[in-house]
Amino acid sequence: MSPTHDVIVIGLGGMGSAAAHHLAARGARVLGLEKFGPVHRHGSSHGGSRVTRQSYFEDPAYVPLLLRAYELYAELERSTGRPIATLCGGVMLGRPESRTVAGSLRSARTWDLPHEMLDAREVRRRFPTLAPAADEIALYEARAGFLRPENTVAAQLQLATQAGAGLHFQEPVTRWEALPGGRGVRVHTPEDTYTAGQLVICPGAWAPALLSDLGVAFTVERQIMHWFEPTGGTGPYVPERHPVYIWEDTGGVQIYGFPAIDGPGGGAKVAFFRRGTVCTPENVDRTVHEDEVRAMAGQAARLLPSLPGRHLTSVTCMYTNTPDEHFVLARHPAHPDSVTVACGFSGHGFKFVPVVGEILADLALTGRTAHPVELFAPGRLRTAAGSLAPSTPSAPGGVR
For residue 366, name the pLDDT band (cuts at 50, 70, 90). Answer: very high
Write out the DSSP string of 83-121.
Answer: --EE---EEEEE-TTSHHHHHHHHHHHHTT---EEEEHH
Calculated CA dihedral for residues 385, 387, 390, 396, nearest 10 degrees? 100
DSSP state of 213: T
What is d(CA 207, CA 212) in angstroms, rounded to the nearest whole number?
7
Query: What tens digit of pLDDT does each residue of 49-89 get?
Result: 999 999 999 999 999 999 999 999 999 999 999 999 999 99
212-237 burial by CB neighbour count: b if 16+ within 10 A, else e?
eebebebbbbbbbbbbbbbeeebebb
User: Would you say 201 and 216 are in contact if contact means Cβ atoms under 8 Å apart?
Assistant: no
Q: Which amino acid is at 277?
A: T
Q: Is the pLDDT of residue 131 over 90?
A: yes
DSSP code of residue 315: E
Which domains are present in the chain? 1-48+148-215+324-380 (3.50.50.60), 79-146+219-321 (3.30.9.10)
Task: Write the pLDDT tens digit of every residue in 369-381.
Answer: 999 999 999 999 9
Contact 271, 246 (CB under 8 A): no
Average pLDDT of the residues of the chain: 93
90 touches 114 (CB < 8 A): no
Q: What does the H/E/C string look like for 216-242?
A: CCCEEEEEEEEEEECCCCCHHHCCCCC
pLDDT in tens, 273-305: 988 899 999 999 999 999 999 999 999 999 999
